Amino acid sequence: QKEVEQDPGPLSVPEGAIVSLNCTYSNSAFQYFMWYRQYSRKGPELLMYTYSSGNKEDGRFTAQVDKSSKYISLFIRDSQPSDSATYLCATVRIQGAQKLVFGQGTRLTINP
Amino acid sequence: GAGVSQSPRYKVAKRGQDVALRCDPISGHVSLFWYQQALGQGPEFLTYFQNEAQLDKSGLPSDRFFAERPEGSVSTLKIQRTQQEDSAVYLCASNGARGQWGNQPQHFGDGTRLSIL
């Protein structure tokens, strides 16, 4: 079993829809959580990161963490075709080296 | 440029050849990371440098993989006697943090796409 599980999709929604992307993790040592966006043939680009349980909002994006259930989510409001990409959740332990542990990535398409 | 730069962008090699992949981190970034991303998968950690010291190489899949950062800036990932299963995108990332997470996210390059025939 992978340490971070993420539904690979693909997920296809119409423009303007609210998108919900989710990951679960298995190790309580993971304390920071990130969402990266990766366009085709590009490197991952950090969207948001959070430490605490609860919500963190940045424009049309909201990251949600529930440490009690080991569940993390990313919501995209008013989705745009430019949001079409692969979304990767990632986590890291506080102690020790900074190596990121990624989910498989969800491929998202926003249809005009 | 201001970002992490990787070269070459694409590399094709025959099985058994040696390859070398280069990473230029963001200027002044202390920490440098290499990840391997197979098709349709998330990146997987390979190795981590703090300045010139390789502090974690637990993700290197075999002794055919070797990484170095001799002057604490540019890094090279070398793969000897390449195998078909080595085909993947190799990503480099850097940040200014020392040791633990330090609230500094990793900035990624666009990767080298390696194909072994």
Across chain A, how many H-helices and E-strands are there? Answer: 0, 11
Q: Which residue of B has its CA nearest to A42?
A: B110
Among residues B40, B18, B28, the alpha carbon closest in space to that of B88 is found at B40
CA B79/CA B57 separation, integer angstroms: 14
pLDDT tens for A13-47 read 999 999 999 999 998 888 889 999 999 999 999 99
DSSP letter (8 states) at residue B85:
G
DSSP, residue by residue, B60-84: --STTEEEE-TTSS-EEEEE-S--G
Confirm or reject contact between A42 and chain B (CB < 8 A).
yes
Residues B51, B49: Cα–Cα separation, whole Å: 6
Higher pLDDT, A98 or A16: A16
Quick check: B49 contacting A, CB < 8 Å? no
Residues on chain B touching A93 (C-beta within 8 angstroms): 101
Put simply, whether B111 touches A (Cβ < 8 Å) is yes
Residues within 8 A of A (CB atoms), B 10-29 only: none
Q: Which A positions 5-34 lie with beta carbon below 8 A of chain B?
A: 6, 8, 31-32, 34
B99 — pLDDT class (breaks 50, 70, 90)? low
List, for residues A80-92, the tens digit of each pLDDT value: 999 999 999 999 8
